Structure 1
Amino acid sequence: MKKKRIKIFDTSLRDGEQIPGCKLKTKEKIKIAKKLEELGVDVIEAGFPISSPGDYNSVQEISKNISNSVVCALSRALEKDINIAWNAIKFAKKPRIHTGIGTSNYHIRYKFNSNKEKIIEIAEKAVKYAKKFTEDVEFYAEDAGRTENIFLAIVCEKVIKSGATVINIPDTTGYCLPKEYGEKINFLKENVKGIHKVILSTHCHNDLGLATANSLYGVINGAEQVECTINGIGERAGNTSLEEIVMIMKQNPSLNFYTSIKTRQLTDVSSLVSKYTGIKIQANKAIVGMNAFSHSSGIHQDGVIKNKVTYESINPRDVGVDRSSIVLTARSGRAALSYRYKKLGIILNKSSLDLVYSIFLEYADKNIEITDKELMIILEKAKLNKKNFLHSDIRINVI
């Protein structure tokens, strides 16, 4: 069976920048956009031009600097928004206007004080107006996750007739369970006339920690584009993490999906985004966290030293990390200690390793992590004779 290509829509510069405490300069946004293009991102959502003059300028400059990726600008379903969005992206080689409106009962009643008929009318009008500027128009049904499937299907059918080329089904509040979100996508695929003419897109938030899972179930059920951010940054608890969804598809051939992402660049792009946004990457973050390929448990360390596949389902090099790391802590065993000494060019026989290990534990109980410098201090404290070494490639002080 032929693999299905899933497009990656990165919204780090739009939804990602909405994270509190983050404010990117235009030059920084351009640098990130260029890196995203090099990474292989299909669509770069450059910003929300009407939100501020600074954002407008950033979107426009990004549009001038990107050649291969689609450059997308967000707008509300208002002519003024769409005009400004177009003026910001009109220099792009591949421009896209992303317009839409809330479709859930919560949004219709409390946000717009409106009704379903009026919402459909606004949606149709917005897509038709955006279509005057560019062929590529994406429509978002905000809070689709909490929108009744039948009404959502009606909205989708109307905007398809109006000229939408992509339809975004956001789980705006991170409300859906994966099975539920997948069923929603499947319902649209089976019940919307003309759905084969458009690309269905996922846009999942992480309020309940389910953004990546929901996006995965979305593509399993027929979505062909995933909207996501580097490091999972974004409003409130963030968005689907680009590196997570891409590596899930890469590491699981049974899914039969692939993307255009050059995964060996993931760590570098992740670090760049973290640097410019000022948002630190949590140590245990999947794929790009500092501890993603670090092992401190003795059982795990022993397994990894023997064969990395015992505790690593991803080759670190596939995401741009040189190697796994064996971190020495009070939970480390003799195998890890011996391994680290070998890295320093020192091979100990069994009796000397036992002696060094007993001293090591004393140090480890008092320190978070044992460094190479401390390893040498431990070795000297053991007062080993040269006969205790099977081999040594470096000079050490022994008695």
Structure 2
Amino acid sequence: MFNHTKYEKKYYLPPQLTYDWVQKETIERAPVWCSVDLRDGNQALAIPMNLEEKLAMFQLLVAIGFKEIEVAFPAASETEFQFVRTLIEDNLIPEDVTIMVITQAREHIIRRTFEAIKGVPRAIVHLYNSTSEAQRRQVFRKSKEEIKQIALDGAILVKELAEQTPGNFYFQYSPESFPGTEVDYALDICNSVLDIWQPTPAHKAIINIPTTVEYAMPHIFASQVEYIHKHLNFREAVTLSVHPHNDRGCGVSDAEFSVLAGADRVEGTLFGIGERTGNVDIITLAMNMYSQGYDPQLDFSHLEEIRKRYEMLTRISVPEKQPYSGDMVFTAFSGSHQDAISKGMKYREENQIDIWDVPYIPIDPVDIGRNYQTDVIRINSQSGKGGVGYLLETNYGIKLPYKMNEELGYAIKAISDNTNRELTAQEIYDAFLQLYVDFHPHFEITDYRFTQGTPQEVTLTILKDNQSIETHSAGSGSLDAVNQALKKTLGATYTLEVYEQHSLGNNSKAQACAQIGIASQGKLYWGAGIHQDIVKASIQALVNAVNRLEVF
């Protein structure tokens, strides 16, 4: 049975519920970003990273622009401990980067942590203990006072060891399992820890509020953070941080709302990799800011390369639909979407617009290392003429008349439907050639000679039914002369309705593409030709169009 009655609310509202944060429109200034990929992300991997992989990940995070990086739980394993020592002893920590290490509020773990960071140029010691009602009752079987004392004893020892150990240290405290903790109780523990540490504006402490398990809707978490923000001691000397997880799928909203509610700092991972459903995805947070015109202070201009590097180091595949970074996040298969995107791109180019405002595409894919040709419009049985025309134009420079583009769109859709798969741009181009450029099953012109003069005269050699026919005619121009000769020789009845041509390049050696539409008995028949000589391309297009007449 799908029994919802076994569940109940697990979160606590703050003593005073305020929604001042709702009045803020957006995040205009980037919070302090702290990557926890090397600790929280790493512990969630089926095969944790080895020393070399962790070093490579650290270098990647530095290159992106993170200034705070949680690197390890040094007491957890020898690999973790040695990684921290390698960073310090090999001078691998840039001057503007602060590493962070995490420790439970247990004496032997705290002491081991300080052994790992001895001599560090700059490090945050992240102290935590679990405070939730469920853990107090079920796991520790301790009172509120006893759980609070664990935090205070840990804070005292951290301060003492920092004074005794060479290095430059900052302190962070997290009431772990906060979502199941009474808000005023969590605040009391945080303020009591701060009373021990006595932070100053020149040497701040960090209070970190985690959604260890995401129980509440994002507006509830924001209101909890707002209450803590308004009632923290030493507020000017404290960086208020959040660490959202994604159990309800709302990690991004938790982070954004909590920054509006007073948080100064966000901990998360690239692509949201973390325990269970993961941490908040810092890429999504940063790119959300970027898409609204604000600088996130992180560089994701080569996001595809970052994703491939990350997948190699973690053995985790990023989903195709992961916001901003997935393979298919800019892809449109829908015909109406493709049409709007195609027209939007043309409008942007024609009007030389700097502000990005293309329908259905929230940011310019080029900004994160993607491209229009392979990422934006892809073709399957749901696609329409707009997408087909866009791919031919962007990949091959071919611009088709509207009605011809429409006919080709239906033909491509039928191919995709029959094969039950997506078609590549090359396959679309090949189909275009087969249907319109190389289509002469009934006859072809093997030779032609023009005689100068007015009207223009032409002598054609037509190959039909394996017989060579020579014919002569005249017209107002070269194409008209050939047209008149074909009508006379083949006995075909039609009118030339559409003639368009354009260059496929920018130099004198570029090929030309001609498209011709002829009308017969109320229906248009299309042909195309491609050649360096525009006259040859036009004749080829006419021959292909006439070959499509039902008279044959």
TM-score by structure 2 length?
Answer: 0.67
* Counterparts of 2:429 and 2:338, CA distance in 1: 21
Is 2:430 the counterpart of 1:377? yes
* Counterparts of 1:259 and 1:87, CA distance in 2: 35
Is 2:32 the counterpart of 1:7? yes
* Counterparts of 1:118 and 1:258, CA distance in 2: 45
Contact 2:385 2:410 in 1 (8 A): no
- Offset of residue 3 of structure 1: 5.2
1:379 partner amino acid = F
Aligned counterpart, 2:126: 98
Is 2:353 the counterpart of 1:353? no
Is 2:269 the counterpart of 1:232? no
Deviates more, 1:200-209 or 1:295-304: 295-304
Looking at secondary structure, tell me which structure has more helix per residue. 1
Query: Sequence identity, in percent?
Result: 25
* Counterparts of 1:292 and 1:90, CA distance in 2: 45
1:311 partner amino acid = Y
* Counterparts of 2:371 and 2:118, CA distance in 1: 41
Contact 2:125 2:169 in 1 (8 A): no
Q: 2:183 aligns with which of 149, 158, 177?
A: 149
- Offset of residue 57 of structure 1: 1.3
Seen in structure 2, the aligned counterparts of structure 1 residues 259 and 136 have a Cα distance that, compared at 3 Å, is: farther
* 1:83-128 deviation digits (Å, cap 9, x = unpaired): 2222223343221111110111112222222111112111112122
Is 2:337 the counterpart of 1:286? no
* Counterparts of 1:384 and 1:390, CA distance in 2: 14
Gaps of 5+ in 2: 1-23, 163-167, 200-204, 346-357, 440-478, 480-498, 505-510, 512-529, 532-536, 545-552
Aligned counterpart, 1:37: 62
Gaps of 5+ in 1: none
- Offset of residue 191 of structure 1: 2.1
1:390 partner amino acid = Q
* Counterparts of 1:15 and 1:325, CA distance in 2: 34
The alignment covers a number of residue pairs equal to 396
* Counterparts of 1:40 and 1:137, CA distance in 2: 22
Equivalent position SS for 1:307:
helix
* Counterparts of 1:267 and 1:379, CA distance in 2: 31
- Offset of residue 20 of structure 1: 4.2
Q: 2:194 aligns with which of 160, 182, 185?
A: 160
Aligned counterpart, 2:354: none
Seen in structure 2, the aligned counterparts of structure 1 residues 11 and 239 have a Cα distance that, compared at 3 Å, is: same
Equivalent position SS for 2:320:
coil
Aligned counterpart, 1:187: 227
Aligned counterpart, 2:247: 207
- Offset of residue 336 of structure 1: 1.2
Is 2:122 the counterpart of 1:85? no
Contact 2:287 2:296 in 1 (8 A): no
Q: 1:75 aligns with which of 80, 87, 103?
A: 103
Equivalent position SS for 2:83:
helix
Contact 2:384 2:413 in 1 (8 A): no
Is 2:380 the counterpart of 1:329? yes
Q: 1:66 aligns with which of 93, 97, 101?
A: 93
TM-score by structure 1 length?
Answer: 0.92
Deviates more, 1:183-192 or 1:80-89: 80-89
Aligned counterpart, 1:220: 260
- Offset of residue 173 of structure 1: 0.7
1:95 partner amino acid = A
- Offset of residue 384 of structure 1: 3.8
Contact 1:98 1:140 in 2 (8 A): yes
1:332 partner amino acid = S
1:340 partner amino acid = L
- Offset of residue 392 of structure 1: 5.8
2:336 partner amino acid = I
- Offset of residue 385 of structure 1: 6.7
Seen in structure 2, the aligned counterparts of structure 1 residues 377 and 262 have a Cα distance that, compared at 3 Å, is: closer
Equivalent position SS for 2:47:
coil
Seen in structure 2, the aligned counterparts of structure 1 residues 382 and 181 have a Cα distance that, compared at 3 Å, is: same
Seen in structure 2, the aligned counterparts of structure 1 residues 249 and 350 have a Cα distance that, compared at 3 Å, is: closer
Contact 2:377 2:391 in 1 (8 A): yes
Equivalent position SS for 1:263:
coil
Equivalent position SS for 1:22:
coil
* 1:265-298 deviation digits (Å, cap 9, x = unpaired): 4443233112211110100100101111222111
Seen in structure 2, the aligned counterparts of structure 1 residues 302 and 3 have a Cα distance that, compared at 3 Å, is: closer
Equivalent position SS for 1:57:
helix
Contact 1:82 1:97 in 2 (8 A): no
2:260 partner amino acid = I
Q: 1:316 aligns with which of 365, 368, 371?
A: 365
Seen in structure 2, the aligned counterparts of structure 1 residues 4 and 20 have a Cα distance that, compared at 3 Å, is: closer
Equivalent position SS for 1:200:
strand
Contact 1:347 1:392 in 2 (8 A): no
Aligned counterpart, 2:72: 47
Aligned counterpart, 2:210: 170
Is 2:337 the counterpart of 1:297? no
| Greater Cα radius of gyration, structure 1 or 2 | 2
Contact 1:45 1:72 in 2 (8 A): yes
* Counterparts of 2:433 and 2:402, CA distance in 1: 17
Larger relative contact order (Cα-Cα within 8 Å, sequence gap ≥ 6): 1
Aligned counterpart, 1:115: 143
1:363 partner amino acid = I
Is 2:59 the counterpart of 1:19? no
Contact 2:385 2:408 in 1 (8 A): no
Aligned counterpart, 1:276: 313
- Offset of residue 147 of structure 1: 0.9
- Offset of residue 144 of structure 1: 0.8
1:361 partner amino acid = K
- Offset of residue 351 of structure 1: 4.5
Contact 1:286 1:292 in 2 (8 A): yes
Seen in structure 2, the aligned counterparts of structure 1 residues 30 and 120 have a Cα distance that, compared at 3 Å, is: same
* 1:135-171 deviation digits (Å, cap 9, x = unpaired): 3011111011221111011011011112161011111
Contact 1:176 1:214 in 2 (8 A): no
Aligned counterpart, 2:396: 344
* Counterparts of 1:129 and 1:319, CA distance in 2: 45
The alignment's C-alpha RMSD in Å is 2.4
Contact 2:45 2:314 in 1 (8 A): no
Deviates more, 1:270-279 or 1:5-14: 270-279
2:171 partner amino acid = V
